[in-house]
Amino acid sequence: MEQSRIDRISELTRISRARELTEAEKAERAALRAEYIAAVRASLVGELENTYLVDEHGVKRPLPKKT
């Protein structure tokens, strides 16, 4: 996610502390937050897919997926 979009989330949060957001601003903030959460989740999934467990015999296995 681009830094400018993260900055916009922060800006909308600061505005919301000073006054009530308009419906358009609320919708924009919700969409940006959803995009941010999706990016964080994708990053975490990528990190976990490249994580391996090494047992006592030195065998390297990928982290099992949870259902």
pLDDT surpasses 80 at 65: yes
pLDDT surpassing 80 at residue 67 = no
Q: Is the pLDDT of residue 47 over 90?
A: yes
CATH class belonging to 3-62: mainly alpha
Does the pTM exceed 0.75?
yes
CA 35 to CA 29: how far, in whole Å? 10
Q: So where are the chain's domains?
A: 3-62
What is the tens place of the pLDDT at every residue in 18-30? 999 999 999 999 9
Average per-residue pLDDT for the chain: 94
Look at residue 66 in the predicted model and tell me its pLDDT: 81
| Cα atoms in the 13 Å half-sphere on the side-chain side of 38 | 7
